[in-house]
Structure 1
């Protein structure tokens, strides 16, 4: 059964119109973000609001139906970030004035790697890091609830 428009709107509002993985703003996207299943339907996930998240196209495509990833520090398989059960700030920080998302826990690191949140595998000219640099210049990034962290200048 398709997710109703009212439910999609509630999910957008709950997410603050940000991708719940990379925190890109939906208002700057040419397309509306996807309402995705945290536990994919192919793995038994439901359409319950507690299993739905707002995701930008790039995060949704990279996440696919994965629920786990490899922590690059320990090489252990760990679950990827679950925005319904976990706080973004407990697993990620902004570095380089908001250009790079750094995972600070095994879940954060595995999610950064699985979703390639910083385009480390795809170093094309139009990478998300270049987009974030532009957003920073215009004063619209990082999101207001994410204070700029200046320990590193990347």
Structure 2
């Protein structure tokens, strides 16, 4: 099992890659009441590394819900569907905003599974989006498609 220590250099780099946002629900750390975590996309107990290609910035809600999960098995097809992978996937290819930018809509099966399991539209996050939107700080620009 890998050591869970993540260097400050890697943490800073991931924060920049993430634009200071949870790489799942897109909450912004600057307007959060809690610091975000360096989340191991593939958990260390499943041989995930502490390297940049396996780290994501995650709010406490998404991180706590995801915990050590990496995907979900579709009950009807028995197919394993991995979660959105922030280092391998592009957010706007798997998700989009609804018309008022308060809800995330999945565009792919991977997006659908990630949204459902991580509860990316949980009430508290939707309330946060509404409040931050009212002062012009939401949605993050990197999540908008022209």
Please say whether Structure 1 and Structure 2 have the same fold, judged by a TM-score greater than 0.5: yes
> Is 1:27 aligned with 2:24?
no
8 Å Cα contact 2:94/2:106 also seen in 1: yes
* Root-mean-square deviation over aligned CA pairs: 2.1
> Is 1:112 aligned with 2:109?
no
How many residues end up aligned between the 2 structures? 143
Gaps of 5+ in 1: 150-154
Larger deviation, residues 78-87 vs 137-146: 137-146
Q: What is the Cα deviation at residue 72 of structure 1?
A: 9.1
8 Å Cα contact 2:96/2:144 also seen in 1: no
Residue deviations 1:92-151 (CA, integer Å, cap 9, x gap): 0001411000111000000000100011xxx5xxx21111111111110011123389xx
Q: Which residue of 1 aligns with 2:42?
A: 39
Report 1:48-87 matches (<5 A): 48-69=51-72, 76-87=79-90
TM superposition score normalised by structure 2: 0.89
Of residues 77, 90, 95, the one that matches 1:92 is: 95
Larger deviation, residues 1-10 vs 82-91: 1-10
TM superposition score normalised by structure 1: 0.85
